[in-house]
Amino acid sequence: MTALPPPPATGCGAAPVLKQRGQREVFCGLTGIMWLHRKMQDAFFLVVGSRTCAHLLQSAAGVMIFAEPRFATAILEETDLAGLADAQDELDREVARLLERRPDIRQLFLVGSCPSEVIKLDLSRAAERLSQAHAPHVRVLNYSGSGIETTFTEGEDACLAAMVPVLAETDADDLLLVGALPDVVEDQMLGLLRAMGIENVRCLPARRADDMPALGPNTRVALVQPFLGETLGALTRRGARHIAAPLPLGEEGTTAWLAAIAREMGVDAETFARVTDAPRARARKAIAAAAATLEGKRVFFFPDSQLEIPLARFLTRECGMEAIEVGAPFIHRDIVGPDLDLLPAGPTISEGQDVDLQLDRARAARPDLTICGLGLANPLEAEGLATKWAIELVFTPIHFYEQAGDLAALFARPLRRRAALRLEAAE
Amino acid sequence: MKLAVWTYEGPPHVGAMRVATGMTGLHYVLHAPQGDTYADLLFTMIERRDRRPPVTYTTFQARDLGADTADLFRRACEDAVARFRPEAIIVGASCTAELIQDDPGGMAETMDLGGIPVIPLELPSYQRRENFGADETFYQIVRRLAAPMDRTARPTCNILGPTGLGFRHRDDVAEITGLLADMGIEVNVTAPMGSSPADIARLGAAHFNVLLYPETAEAAARWCEKNLGQPFTGTVPLGVGATRDFVNEVRALVPEAQRPSEAGLRLPWYASSVDSTYLTGKRVFLFGDATHVIAAARVARDEMGFEVCGMGCYNRELARPLRAAAKEYGLTPLVTDDYLEVERAIEALAPEMILGTQMERHIGKRLGIPCAVISAPVHVQDFPARYSPVMGFEGANVLFDTWVHPLVMGLEEHLLHMFREDFEFHDAAGPSHHGGKAVAQPEEAAPRATAPAGTDVVTWLAEAERELKKIPFFVRGKARRNTETFAAERGVREISVDTLYEAKAHYAR
C-alpha cells in the first residue's frame, strides 16, 4: 500500500479564521427533516411555522416524494398571531388529527421555526402536554430548526440533542455512534466494529423508537458527522465520554476514526489490521481512479454543512487537490480539530459568510472546482467556474471505506463532464 | 393554524422575487432570516437562470433580535445599492421580519440611496400568497414609475404579466409578440419580465395593454387603465377559439390591425382527423391557476372534444371568474389550496385524464390516471429547451401534442380493443410510446371470496369480475364505476355479467 503523506508539520489547527458578517447564503435547520424523516421510519416532523417553511421543505425535497411524506407544516395564520393561547389549542387539535390519521407514528417532533421563535410560541410546553395526552404510544419532542438559530445541518444537531434527555440510563460499558447515516452505510460501520470484536454498539438516531439507545457514565461516544456540537454537549453532560477523531470520510479518515475507537476499546493491532487491510486497499484503489482527475486541481468551499473541513482534508491529502478557501458555517473545534490538524496549511479558513465578498474572492481565485449551494452553482457555472452542489454531499452515502471512491467521484464528475462536452464545430 | 403537506403557492415575498428576477436594473432588499435564501435556488435550478436573483437578504439571526436588526437592514440597503447600482430598489419583509416590525419600507425611504426610487412593499405573509405578492409588487412598481405621456405614432401595446418562474412565460411572450407583429402592432414594453425601471417609466406610450397573466398583473393593468387611459385585453389567448377572440378584441381596439396568419395552426385539423376519434368524450379533470384552468377547459371541450367532469383552482383571488366559467360546464368548481382535498376530488371523480399542475401529476401517478401539466407551480420540466408556448396558434399546437401524449394513442387504442386477448396488451404494458417494456400478463389471481358485509355493499360475482378484466384498462375504471352506480340505483347487490352489460347499454352514448 502506498503511504499517504505524513501529517503536515503545520496543519490548519492554529491557522487564523476569517470571520465576516454579511449575507449568508445557506439553508435553515428545517432542511434536516429531509433526511431525518427517512432515517427514523416511525417519526413524524411537524414544523410550526409559516408558508415560507412549507415552501422551503417542498423546494428542498426537489422532487416531491411519492408517498405522503412524514413531515408537514402547521402554518401559522393571522388568528394564531393575535392570541398565543389559541395557537396551543390549535396545535393540540392538528396533532390529534394527524396522529389519528397516522397510527404508525411513534415519535412526533414539533419543530420550531423563525416565526414560532419570534412570537415565542412555547413548543416545549406543547410537547410535554401532548406527550402526556398521547402516551405511551407516541412520544412528543420539540426542537428548533429556525434559521435565526440554526444553519442547515444544525437542525439534525438540535433534533438529536432534544432526544438525549429522554434516553434511558445505563451503566453498561458501551459505544454510542451519533449522527444519521444511510442504513447501508450504518450497517457497514457496525460490521467493521463487530469484526473487531466491539459488540456493544448503539446508534443515535435509531431507526425506530423502540431501538433508542441508553446512556451512562461508561458510554463512549463517537461522532460520524461534524455538526453535532450541541448533541455532544448534551451527551457529555450525562457522563458519556467523547472519542475525538478525524471524521470517517475517505480511507485515511475512516482508518483514523476506527483506530481511535479501537484504541479506546482495547482492540489489538493485529485484529485491527486483519479487519481493515482489505477495505483500506479497496478504498485506495477506488479513490485513485477519481483522483487522477482531481490531482493538482484547486478547490474552493463555500459554507454549507460543516462537512467542509473533513472534506478538504480528504481532497487535499487523498486526492491531491489544493484547497484555496475552506468556508464553514460554524467550526466546532472539539469535533473537527483532528481534521484541521491534518489539513495542510495554506488555505483560508473562514467561518460564517458575507456571500458577496466571498464570491469576489472565488472569482479572483478562479478555482478549478467550487463547492457551493444550489443558489450559487448555475450562476458560477455561467461565469466559467466548475461547481459541485454541496447538498449532494449530505444526501449521498459518502462515509467509510466502501463509499470513499464514490466520494472522490462526486468531485471528479463536474470536471469530467466539462471535459466531455464538445460543442464547437468540428473544424 | 392549517396543516399543509405540499403548497401550490409560496409566500408573497417569493411573488415579489419573481417580479424582481424577471426584471433588469431592479434590486430587492429583503429583510429576512438566512433560511429564506433557499428561494434563490428556485430560479437558479428550476428555471436554470445563469445569475443570482437580484435579491439581498439581511439574514438576521436570533442574537440580532431586539438589538440592531434595523441597522442590519440599513447596511444591507447601502451595500446593495453600492454593489449592484440598481436604477430602483424594492424593499420589504418576509414572514419573520414582518413580526419584528422594523418597517423596512419606512426606513429605506428616509435613507440617502443616491436618489434612486425606493418602492416599499407591504405583503401580508400570514394572509396572502405568491400570486398576490407578484401582482402587488408589479402594481407598486408601475404606480411609482409610470406616468402619462404621448402615445407612439404607430399602434403599440404593452404585454403585462410575465415573470420569473412563470409557466411557459418565456415562449408565450415570444408567440404573442409575433402574433401582434403579424397584426401590425408593435410591443412597446413587456413587463415585468425583460423590462427595466426605465422601461416601466415609458409604459404610457402604448395605446393599450395586453393582460397576458391576470394572476400577476391585473392590478397594474387596472391602474394603467385608470391613470394612463390604456384599455386592456380581457381574453387570454390560450387555445384556438380564445386566440381568435383575442385577435377580435385587439382589432376592436385598433381598427387598422390586420388579421394574423393562421398558416401554422394545426390543432383544428389534428382534432378532426380520424385518429383523434378516440378522444371523444374522454372525461378530464382540470386544476391549476384560475386563468389556465378557465382557458384549458374551453380547449378541452370545444377543441379536443373531451368532457370536462371537474375543475378547480388554488388561487382564491380569481375564484369568481372560475365559478362563472364552471357554470358553462354545469360544474361547481373546487377552490382550495389543500392538495389532499384535490386528491380526494380526483379519486371520487375517477377522470380518464387530469390537466393539472406538477402536484396533480403526482396524484395521477398514484391513481394510475394520465396527466398533462397546464399550470404553475413549476418544475424543471416546465422549462423545456425547445420553443414550447401554450398561447397563440403555435401554443394550440403544443397543447394538442402535450395533452395527447400521456394517453394511449388513437390507433393503438383501437388495436387494444381488437386484440385484447393478446398477452402483451394488458394493463401493465402501458402506452407503447412511454418506454418500459411489455411484460407477460400475470396469472389471474384466484377469484375473490364473495362476502358482502353491509346491506349497501355491491359485490362482483367472480365471472363478472373476470369479464370486467377483459375490458381495456383505460376504460375499466369507468366501467366498474358505472356498473356499481347502476347496480346501487336499482338495489342490485350482486353484479353478474348481465348487470355489467345492462349498465353498459344504459350508459351508452
3-state helix/strand/coil string of B28-71: EEEECEHHHHHHHHHHHHHCCCCCCCCEEECCECHHHCCCCHHH
Across A108-126, average pLDDT: 95
Same domain for B282 and B307, yes or no, is: yes
Q: pLDDT by residue (tens digit) across B24-37?
A: 999 999 999 999 99
**Both ends of chain B: CA-CA distance in Å?**
47
What does the angle CA B269 – CA B273 – CA B275 come to, to the nearest 5 degrees?
Answer: 140
**pLDDT at position B447 over 50:** no
**pLDDT at position A264 over 70:** yes
Same domain for B398 and B301, yes or no, is: yes
Count of beta carbons in the 10 Å neighbourhood of residue B186: 13
Residues on chain A touching B127 (C-beta within 8 angstroms): 77-78
pLDDT averaged over every residue in chain A? 93
Q: How far apart are CA A59 and CA A102, in angstroms?
A: 24
| CATH code for position B476 | 1.10.8.550
Check CB contact of B45 with chain A, cutoff 8 Å.
yes
**pLDDT at position B416 over 80:** no
The domain of B475 spans 448-507
* Cα B111 off chain centre by: 40
**pLDDT at position B394 over 70:** yes
**Reduced to 3 states, what is the DSSP secondary structure of residue A143?**
strand
Cβ contact A58:B8 at 8 Å: no
Between chains, do B44 and A374 touch, taking CB under 8 Å as contact?
yes
Residue B460 domain flag: yes
Same domain for B211 and B176, yes or no, is: yes
Which residue of chain A has the CA closest to B42? A59
pLDDT at position B426 is 53
**pLDDT at position B408 over 80:** no
Residue position matching grid coordinates 445541518? A153
Same domain for B279 and B247, yes or no, is: no
Q: Which of B4, B58, B358 sits opposite A75 (nearest CB)?
A: B4
Between chains, do B1 and A94 touch, taking CB under 8 Å as contact?
yes
* Bridging pattern class, strands B2-4 and A71-75: antiparallel
Substitution target from B57, B68, B126, B342 for chain A, most A beta carbons within 10 A = B126
pLDDT at position B272 is 96
Q: How far apart are CA B351 and CA B282, in angstroms?
A: 8
pLDDT at position A405 is 96
Q: Which of B3, B42, B96 sits opposite A74 (nearest CB)?
A: B3
- Chain B stretch 3-42, residues whose beta carbon is closer than 8 A to a beta carbon of chain A: 3-7, 9-11, 13-14, 33-42
Same domain for B227 and B159, yes or no, is: yes
Residue B221 domain flag: yes
Confidence band, pLDDT 50/70/90 cuts, at residue B65:
confident
Q: Which of B1, B4, B359 sits opposite A54 (nearest CB)?
A: B4
Task: Determine the angle formed by the axes of helices B214-227 and B12-22, rounding to 10 degrees.
Answer: 70
Check CB contact of A98 with chain B, cutoff 8 Å.
yes
Same domain for B272 and B410, yes or no, is: yes
Between chains, do B62 and A148 touch, taking CB under 8 Å as contact?
yes
Q: Which residues contact A329 (CB under 8 A, 6 or more apart)?
A: A24, A26, A151, A152, A154, A303, A304, A305, A306, A351, A352, A353
Half-sphere exposure (Cβ direction) of B242: Cα atoms closer than 13 Å: 28
Across A82-94, average pLDDT: 82
Least confident of A38-52, A332-346, B61-75: B61-75
Phi and psi at residue A85, to the nearest 5°: -55, -40
Between residues A38 and B393, the one the model is more confident about: B393
Check CB contact of B125 with chain A, cutoff 8 Å.
yes
* Bridging pattern class, strands B156-160 and B208-211: parallel
Tell me if residue B182 is catalytic: no
Q: pLDDT by residue (tens digit) across B250-280?
A: 999 999 999 999 999 999 999 999 989 889 9
| CATH code for position B170 | 3.40.50.1980
Check CB contact of A379 with chain B, cutoff 8 Å.
yes
pLDDT at position B438 is 45
Q: How far apart are CA B345 and CA B401, in angstroms?
A: 26
CATH (residue range A17-24+280-426): 3.40.50.1980
Same domain for B75 and B194, yes or no, is: no
pLDDT at position B406 is 86
Residue B262 domain flag: no
Residue B44 domain flag: yes
- Of all residues in chain A, what percent carry a pLDDT higher than 90? 85
Residues on chain B touching A147 (C-beta within 8 angstroms): 33-36, 96
Same domain for B105 and B163, yes or no, is: no
Q: Which of A54, A75, A119 sits opposite B99 (nearest CB)?
A: A119
Domain A17-24+280-426 shares a fold with domain A29-150: yes
Confidence band, pLDDT 50/70/90 cuts, at residue B479:
confident
pLDDT at position B278 is 87
Note the helical H segments in B254-350: 267-272, 290-298, 319-328, 339-349
pLDDT at position B432 is 58
Q: The domain A29-150 belongs to what CATH superfamily?
A: Nitrogenase molybdenum iron protein domain (3.40.50.1980)
Q: Final residue of a domain: which of B129, B155, B174?
A: B129
Cell of B298: 374551453
Which residue of chain B has the CA closest to A120? B99
Between chains, do A55 and B34 touch, taking CB under 8 Å as contact?
no
Across A200-223, average pLDDT: 95
Catalytic residue among B103, B275, B302, B337: B275
pLDDT at position A425 is 87
Residue B423 domain flag: no
Same domain for B405 and B280, yes or no, is: yes
Residue B80 domain flag: yes
Substitution target from A89, A92, A378, A423 for chain B, most B beta carbons within 10 A = A378
**Both ends of chain A: CA-CA distance in Å?**
46
pLDDT at position B83 is 97
Which H/E stretch holds residue A395? helix A392-395
The residue extents of the domains of chain A are 17-24+280-426, 29-150, 175-265
Q: Final residue of a domain: which of B253, B286, B308?
A: B253
Same domain for B284 and B383, yes or no, is: yes
Same domain for B279 and B244, yes or no, is: no
| Number of structural domains in chain B | 4
Residues on chain B touching A26 (C-beta within 8 angstroms): 34-35, 37
Residue B426 domain flag: no
- Chain B stretch 46-65, residues whose beta carbon is closer than 8 A to a beta carbon of chain A: 48-52, 56-62, 65
**pLDDT at position A232 over 80:** yes
**pLDDT at position B456 over 90:** no
Between residues B428 and A380, the one the model is more confident about: A380
Q: Looking at the domain A175-265, which fold is it?
A: Rossmann fold (3.40.50)
Same domain for B306 and B399, yes or no, is: yes
- Of all residues in chain B, what percent carry a pLDDT higher than 70? 90
**pLDDT at position B450 over 80:** no
pLDDT at position A84 is 61
What does the angle CA B468 – CA B471 – CA B473 come to, to the nearest 5 degrees?
Answer: 105
Residue B428 domain flag: no
Confidence band, pLDDT 50/70/90 cuts, at residue A388:
very high
**pLDDT at position A85 over 70:** no
pTM: 0.91
Identify residue A242 by its one-letter amino acid code: H
- Chain A stretch 145-164, residues whose beta carbon is closer than 8 A to a beta carbon of chain B: 146-149, 151
DSSP B301: I
**pLDDT at position B55 over 70:** yes
pLDDT averaged over every residue in chain B? 90
DSSP A2: P
